[in-house]
Structure 1
Amino acid sequence: MTTQSATSETDAQGNTGVRIVLDGVSKVYPGSDRPAVDNVSLDIPAGEIVVFVGPSGCGKTTMMRMINRLSEPTSGRILIGDDDALSIKPTELRRSIGYSIQQAGLFPHMTIRQNIGLVPGLLRWDRKRTADRVDELLDLVGLEPTQYADRYPRQLSGGQQQRVGVARALAADPPVLLMDEPFGAVDPITRSTLQDELLRLQTELRKTIVFVTHDFGEAVKLGDRITVLGQQSKVLQYDTPQNILANPADDIVAGFVGSGASLQQLGLMRIKDVTLQSHPSVHRDDSVEQVRNVLAGSEFDWAVVLDDRDRPVSWVRESRLAHATALADATESLGVVSTQSTLEDALEAILAEQHASAVVTGSGSRYEGVVTLDTLIETITKLRADASAAAAQGQP
């Protein structure tokens, strides 16, 4: 980690993140006779998402905040890359670590551009470099710079504000990103979209992300590894989602996993792991006649409508074209999933739409194809057959 420039470098594995080591870390608040965090040791690999999950009051946020010294450890050692975090000035350390919180935490009197450019400004980046970085990040999180950069936070939806919060955390290209229940204040549909967006960004950026949540389902979806914490942040189990679901370490962890473990197993498999089907697409500037011709030459009675960057924006069914004079008169709103979405997400999207498939986006939110109900049924059937075969052989 380079605290002076606060920018990350790529290692031989393609990670721009760095390893984090917590070695015997404790936190005792003044006036308390028991530690909030008691002698915790943890090794967080570079370039992975590690999720802290546990009950309210267990110290998971305190443990995360000690990494950037928003909460000072009482004892122990924290290494970020090769650097001892306690040997770095707190202000320098925090400028080299991205931080994203619930409800975004944006400054209401600043524009979106000013909010994202805050840390680069503190690091004395020149104006052009800062402006270019803001535009790059807005585009990366799916917000058109010309449309959003000069707005104020109050002019954005909750989901858009969270995207800006993530962009601001990434502004100086830090190797480490800390996320404290960042999606907890938005509705479930927006939350799922933001989770997908984070996973998409991570495939490109490969940061080291420490993510705090109380939602075990969110931990399963996002985490490369999950740290299940008990009181005083005692590490009850630290493992991959697959291993925790299959082999909870004790009854407390099993309680977190819950009776829906088999369904959560489906949440481990992503749309990118199944075969997508091609489906007719048109562009929103196409004429009604052009769209009719596309559908006439296919076996389908509906098409995906794309914008000029090949991003799905709506859909149109053949029956609605009969009396339309412009394509916009016949289109209907469209919900999409991404290649990072889980099979559970895809199933929910299919049930919400009026056709037996869900439209899928990939890099840059561009159209990739559709995932069909038949594909999901075949995949789920195979997963269940594999699980039954493993159980019959006495495997966990």
Structure 2
Amino acid sequence: METTASVEGGGSAVSGVEIQLEHVTKRYPGSREPAVDDVTMTIPAGKIVILVGPSGCGKTTTMRMINRLIEPTSGKITIGGKDALRLNPDRLRRTVGYAIQQAGLFPHFTVAQNIAVVPGLLGWDKKKINDRVEEMMDLVGLDPKQFHGRYPRQLSGGQQQRVGVARALAADPPVLLMDEPFGAVDPITRGNLQDELLRLQSDLHKTIVFVTHDFDEAVKLGDKIAVLGNQSKILQYDTPDAILANPADDTVAGFVGAGASLKQLTLLRVRDVELDQAPLTASISESPASVRQKLAEKNAKYVLVLDERRRPVRWVHLRELGGASSLGTAGKPLSDLVSLQSTLQDALEAMLVEGGGVPVTGSRGEYVGTIHLDTVMATIQRLREEHAES
């Protein structure tokens, strides 16, 4: 099982493969009803498909049958045209990435060792593994020099999840299964991890099957959403905008919930609107005195401080520069920011935290602009007018 466009050591042209489930059923001994009953669906190559439904409906069981962590009772599953049920289960799992809630890292392994697990099992040589580990750490936004030798207990929840995603992608699998991977972290970190996944997907184009009970997360991440009822019955399988606009029945409408028009904000990305620029930006290495002079020349009150990689780190007001010894300690650190992959709903929530305009970052965390409340409110007004017309 190979990617349709393989890249040695990673790259930007990697594609996933199509997955087909045909009449897949799972019955557990002693149970009167099947946990999963006669599921048939096609998961397109290179897309993110979300399985969303209430707890206990069978969505995780359905996903785990794809890599045979749970064996189907009947039916057929093909991955890239190959019958998954005829493959060696261990070999199959090494070609399917798997990321779970709370990362599931080996606590006695370092970050690098955790990421290297599957390449090691596949017999990659040491140099190739080391190169891949560094590449994956950089890809998920963890500085190899800083995190290479750390253990999971020394990481935040968000950092652990990044390592989990890096480990799942390390062997360059065409398929990635994700079982509520961001469910155990705080809302801000969760939004950042969602953005990171979308950024990675824009580069890698894997086939991703993602389980969640959060419909807002499904709308934000999914190219397609499968809304599941009991026994994984597919109530509706369509694009997020189609489900928001036309729920198939009352059960799906219950998932969509109130404020469907406001949920349209989760379909629009920050990259879709025009960004402003901060009145002034400054490198963290600049002296407070020189920045104070620049603010005076521009008749500005605030400066956005960027680190050595041009990533936004803090806002500093003119009055806070007087007694400051460096820009690294002046002002206040950023509580939240958004990326070009973020939704306008994410941006709105970040503004409530920051209390004003929010810096926007690009593919490597670099500053690309600022989004303000006026921009989001104008977009909401336009959506309301369009909704009223339709």
Residue 193 of structure 1 aligns with which residue? 192
Structure 1 vs Structure 2 CA RMSD: 1.6
1:230-249 to structure 2, matched below 5 A, reads: 230-249=229-248
Q: Do structure 1's residue 9 and structure 2's residue 6 form an aligned pair?
A: yes
The structural deviation recorded for 1:321 is 1.1
- Determine helix, strand or coil for the equivalent of 2:364: helix
The C-alpha deviation readout for 1:24-44, integer Å capped at 9, x for no partner, is 111111222221111111011
Shift of 1:300: 3.5
Counterparts of 1:281 and 1:362 in 2: how far apart (Å)? Answer: 16
Native 8 Å contact 1:16 1:47 kept in 2: yes
> Aligned pair 1:315/2:315, yes or no?
yes
CA displacement, residues 5-57 of structure 1 (integer Å, 9 cap, x when unaligned): x89637xx955111111111111112222211111110111111100001111
- Deviation string 1:313-359 (CA, Å, 9 cap, x unpaired) is 222111211232322331311121111111111111112214x3110
Is residue 2:357 matched to residue 1:357?
yes
What amino acid sits opposite 1:287 in the alignment? S
Q: Aligned partners of 1:287, 1:246: CA distance in 2, in Å?
A: 53
Per-residue CA deviation, residues 220-244 of structure 1 (Å, 9 max, x unaligned), is 1111110000111000000011110
Structure 1 gaps, min length 5: 391-396
Q: State the Cα deviation string for residues 65-102 of structure 1 (Å, max 9, x = none).
A: 00001011111111111211112100010000000000
The 1:385–1:126 alpha-carbon spacing in structure 2 relative to 1, beyond 3 Å, is same
Q: Which residue of 2 aligns with 1:119?
A: 118
Decide whether the 8 Å contact of 1:15 with 1:46 is kept in 2. Answer: no
* Structure 2 partner of 1:258: 257
Q: Quick one: structure 1 residues 379 and 299, their matched pair in 2 at CA, closer, same or farther if it must change by over 3 Å?
A: farther
In the TM superposition, residue 246 of structure 1 has moved relative to its aligned partner by 0.8
Aligned to 1:304: 304
Runs of 4+ in 1 over 4 A off after TM superposition: none
Write the distance in 1 (CA, Å) between the matches of 2:209 and 2:177.
Answer: 5
CA separation in 1, counterparts of 2:307 and 2:189?
21
One-letter amino acid of the counterpart of residue 245, structure 2: A
Q: SS of 1:310's equivalent? A: coil
Q: Is the contact made by 1:104 and 1:165 (CA closer than 8 Å) also made in structure 2?
A: yes
Distance 1:49 1:298 in 2: 46
Take 1:218 and 1:127, find their aligned partners in 2: how far apart are those partners? 38
Asked whether the 8 Å contact 2:5–2:13 carries over to 1, the reply is no
**Contact 2:5–2:14, Cα closer than 8 Å, also in 1:** no
Give the corresponding residue for 2:139: 140
Contact 1:7 1:173 in 2 (8 A): no
Q: Deviations over 1:79-129 (max 9, x none)?
A: 111211112100010000000000100000111111100000000111111
Write the deviation string for residues 164-191 of structure 1: whole angstroms up to 9, x where unpaired: 0000000101010000000111111111
Determine the C-alpha separation between the residues in 1 that align with 2:163 and 2:299.
41
Distance in 2, Cα, partners of 1:194 & 1:216: 16
Contact 2:276 2:371 in 1 (8 A): yes
Q: TM-score, length-normalised on structure 1?
A: 0.94
Once the two structures are aligned, what percentage of the paired residues are identical? 62
Whether contact under 8 Å (1:59, 1:233) holds in the other structure is: yes
Q: Distance in 2 between matches of 1:182 and 1:216?
A: 15
Q: Secondary structure at the match of 1:327?
A: coil
SS in 2 for 1:328: coil
Asked if 2 retains the 8 angstrom alpha-carbon contact of 1:8 and 1:174, the reply is no
Q: Which amino acid aligns with 1:370?
A: T
Tell me, what secondary structure is at the counterpart of 1:363?
coil
| Alignment-derived partner of residue 339 in structure 1 | 340
Which residue of structure 1 lines up, in the alignment, with residue 371 of structure 2? 371
Residue 78 of structure 1 corresponds to: 77
Between the two proteins, the alignment pairs up a number of residues equal to 384
**For 1:114-165, what per-residue CA distance to the aligned partner results, in whole angstroms no more than 9, with x for missing partners?**
1100000000111111111111111111111111110110010111101100
Distance 2:101 2:300 in 1: 43
Q: How does 1:211-222 map to 2 (within 5 A)?
A: 211-222=210-221
2:27 alignment counterpart = 28
SS of the aligned residue for 1:315 comes to strand
